Amino acid sequence: MITLASSASVVLGGESVTTSFPLRPVRIIVGFPPGSSADMLARFLAAQLTDRLGQQTIVDNRAGANGIIAGELTTKAPADGHTLLLVSTSHTMNAAVQSKLPFDPAASFAPVTMLGTGPIVLVAHPSLPANNVKALVALAKTKPGVINYAVAGTGGINHFSGALFARLAGIKLTHVPYKGGAAALTNLMAGEVETMFSTLALALRQVRAGKIKALGIGNAERSPLVPDVPTIQEAGVPGYEIMIWWGMLAPAGTPATTIVRLNSELGTILKQPELARRLAADGAMPRSSTSDEFARLLVTEIEKWKRVARDSDIRAE
């Protein structure tokens, strides 16, 4: 592989363009607290980018407002590649529930690359008299709005996962908001709520311990970590597909040569077996893309979640 150096000559569209990047330390802003899946991914990437770019790359956690605080901070940074934003699926969901965002989730950013994907799993308390998706749907049809599901705040991926499930299954469920995924899972295990649409990373240990039961995977394919758990599609809800994904953005206007450099370096890092091993422990996997592919994903996801929010009457509280 040819590594682009600072002040290197890069050929784009048949023209030679001179780029000077990086000239100083690079910052990856993460809108979630230390220890979260996004934070751990960012720290692995930062360590590798430090070596590959020849400049220190640091992680700056700016948790709050479902990533909106971090997004706004990124848009105010110079568009030169030295400030990046690691986002997850919630970045596109914010546009569906917030009437006034301080930025446009697509136009305010220059997509760099996707970073990885992970499954969402429908889990339930052992006492729920339904051991599979079909039984849960049948039960919910006899008790409209009675069965509930825990969410880590209104308008997040847990909430949208449940809303999409209910709409496609033709049932009515009631969401119960908590201050975070860990609190939601704790109350599920205590039997205070009946179901939850959780990341597999958060729920896997408790599923294996028998404290909760897994009914279905949101991805289009089964997870190798829980191969006996069917996808929600194959278990009786056609068209249901949701996953958590992570990606890297830069401020809009970042030079194309810098985006090319970052995409190349991150793409190489994502191929490292060590990263695949770390993500696999949580049921996730690295996934790179071109900047254009990631741009299309952002637009598609924003439109998708706006439809779900409208049809399910999801609003920010």
Residue 233 lies in a domain: no
Last residue of a domain, one of 199, 217, 235: 217
85 and 129 together in one domain: no
pLDDT value for 280: 86
Q: What is the token pair recorded at 235?
A: 């278990």
Distance CA 164, CA 149 (A): 13
Q: Domain count of the chain?
A: 2
pLDDT value for 48: 97
82 and 110 together in one domain: yes
SS3 49: helix
Spatial neighbors of 6 by CB under 8 A, at least 6 apart, are 19, 20, 21, 22, 23, 54
Distance CA 233, CA 133 (A): 9
DSSP structure string for 250-312: EETT--HHHHHHHHHHHHHHHT-HHHHHHHHTTT-EE----HHHHHHHHHHHHHHHHHHHHHH
Angstrom CA distances, 139 to 125, 135, 172, 234, stand at 15, 6, 11, 18
Last residue of a domain, one of 175, 202, 217: 217
Residue type for position 247: G
113 and 252 together in one domain: yes
Q: What is the token pair recorded at 137?
A: 């749907």
137 and 207 together in one domain: yes
Q: What does pTM read for this prediction? A: 0.85
Residue 162 lies in a domain: yes
| HEC string for 99-150 | CCCCCCCCCCEEEEEEEEEEEEEEEECCCCCCCCHHHHHHHHHHCCCCCEEE
113 and 123 together in one domain: no
Mean pLDDT by 10 residues, the chain (317 residues): 39 49 97 86 97 97 91 97 96 91 97 96 97 97 96 88 96 92 92 95 92 96 92 95 95 98 97 92 89 97 94 81
Last residue of a domain, one of 170, 197, 217: 217
Gyration radius of the chain's alpha carbons: 20
Classify residue 290 by burial, with Cβ atoms within 10 Å: 0-12, 13-18, 19+: middle
User: CATH code at 147?
Assistant: 3.40.190.10
12 and 102 together in one domain: yes
pLDDT value for 317: 62
Domain that holds residue 190: 119-217
Residue 210 lies in a domain: yes
Residue 1 lies in a domain: no
Residue type for position 269: I
Residue 272 lies in a domain: yes
User: CATH code at 111?
Assistant: 3.40.190.150
112 and 20 together in one domain: yes
Distance CA 129, CA 123 (A): 13
Q: Which residue has the tokens 């279905």?
A: 216
Spatial neighbors of 310 by CB under 8 A, at least 6 apart, are none
